[in-house]
Structure 1
Amino acid sequence: MPLALSRTVVRTDACDTSSGLRTRQIHLDRALKQVLDETAAACVQFDPESWHRRFDGDSSTWVIPPTVPRAWIGADLVRNLSIALSRYNRHAGADSQLRLRAAIDHGEVEQDGQHLGGRPVTTAARLCDCDALREAMRANPGVQLGLIVSEGFYRDVVVEGERGLKPAEFTEVDVEVKLFRGKAWVHLVDGAAQVPSAGAKRPPAEPAARPAQSNRIKSKGNRNKNVINNLNIQY
């Protein structure tokens, strides 16, 4: 068996593909593949053909080598994905709009052909499926891309502010999915900076100065819904 190597994992999942007729589901699966292919094509300087890219109908998992800077993944790759998504939706009908949830984590990944193993693979999948991100997307139907990053990725990459990453645009959440329990950070990519509920504070750009009581969205319960409904998104 091959040894695990340091990698960044990007998981994407299309929203609401199970509703409607079979033809709509198939159309959105094809649309996701088109958007992901365009996103990869925009990353040509980092040889995306060498990445592990697994497409599973309405979801995908990308495992990206350490030769690609993680700040570039969190900023530029996500931006390329948003641009490709906007290009598709601009010409799609109301029933064919594609909205995505995306999750990022990094760490040791074991790869054997098409088979993947490691905490980042599981964490990215759980984050992408968590209630906090799903509820944020449901509460803001005009947002086409919702991003969630692990606590480690936020701490190691986002707070450094490279490539235009802005920590203040991320909101801390508590995630409970299956056996996974942990914290993560949500950013509605094509919306304005999130505005938390009254009295809550966002972390400043400098991590050392971040207040102990940060804005949180609980993944379950009414408090989560109340905070999400107070997000102020502009288009």
Structure 2
Amino acid sequence: MTRQTPYAVRYTPRRSLEAGGTVVTDAQLVYRLLLAVDIQGYSARNAKEQLVAQRELSAALSRAANDLGLDRDLWDKQVGGDGELAILPPGADIPKIVGEFPRRLTEELNEYNRLRTEGRPLRVRLAMHHGTLIEGPFGPAGEAPVEITRLLDADQLRALLGERTADPLVFAISAALYEEVVQSGFCALDPSGFKPVELSVKGIRYSGYLYHDGR
């Protein structure tokens, strides 16, 4: 039986006699825009503070998406306690989202931090990538979810958030987004505001760009 998902990937489990009865899958490889976000210092918060951080980040993400005419309910989300990996539906306006979503989310986080009466400020890392994935029984599989996770967890991005103490958000994009979208001239972000970063994780190299905004 085929199970449909919000990002329109077909996943059809079947029994394979050749594989001795193990479950194999037929799936459609698709290109999607992915966003990943992670809360700084999440594990240092107590249970109440963690819950507040989760709720406020979710609300900020929804408001930032709504400002761009996006319905976050249509995103396929793989959530963790300190953030989420979101896969946007087909047809997403990639230049607009890449160019404007970080700014909108920054505005929402700044507003929350300004109005909060107690607790830690909400500060996050954001990563964006456009690549291939397929649906798996435990979540999306493929190049795109792996690469965006590597970018989000990059030491260089963590260090940048540590340095920019007045900023609620820092972000990185994949080399593919930088070369195909930011440099296209159809994106609101200035290519000169980025600096390249190289990662090597478990013997595999990844390339990305950190946004420095000329600083």
The answer to whether TM tops 0.5 is yes
Question: What residue number does 2:124 align with?
Answer: 100
Matched length: 190
Q: Which moved more, 1:23-32 or 1:136-145?
A: 23-32
> d(CA) in 2 for partners of 1:177 and 1:15?
21
| 3-state secondary structure, aligned to 2:44 | coil
Question: What residue number does 2:36 align with?
Answer: 11
> d(CA) in 2 for partners of 1:163 and 1:156?
10
Q: Is the 8 A contact 2:181 2:187 kept in 1?
A: no
Structure 1 residue runs of 4 or more that deviate by more than 3 Å after TM superposition: 177-180
The CA deviation at 1:112 is 5.0
Question: What residue number does 1:69 align with?
Answer: 93
TM-score, normalised to structure 2, is: 0.79
Give the alignment partner of residue 211 of structure 2, picking from 142, 163, 187.
187
Q: Which moved more, 1:1-10 or 1:104-113?
A: 104-113
TM-score, normalised to structure 1, is: 0.73
**Any stretches of 5+ residues in structure 1 without a counterpart?**
195-235
Q: What is the percent sequence identity of the aligned residues? A: 25
> d(CA) in 1 for partners of 2:163 and 2:185?
28
By percentage of residues, which structure has more strand? 2
Structure number with bigger Rg: 2
Q: Is the 8 A contact 1:108 1:120 kept in 2?
A: yes
1:59-208 equivalent positions in 2, closer than 5 A: 59-93=83-117, 95-111=119-135, 115-188=139-212, 192-194=213-215
Question: What residue number does 1:213 align with?
Answer: none
For the aligned residues, what is the CA RMSD? 2.1
**Any stretches of 5+ residues in structure 2 without a counterpart?**
1-10, 12-26
Listed one character per residue, the Cα deviations across residues 12-69 of structure 1 (whole Å, up to 9, x for unaligned) are 111111124333223222222221222233233x444322123322111111134112
Distance 1:22 1:51, change over 3 A: closer
Q: Is the 8 A contact 2:130 2:177 kept in 1?
A: yes
Look up the equivalent residue of 1:57 and give its one-letter code.
G
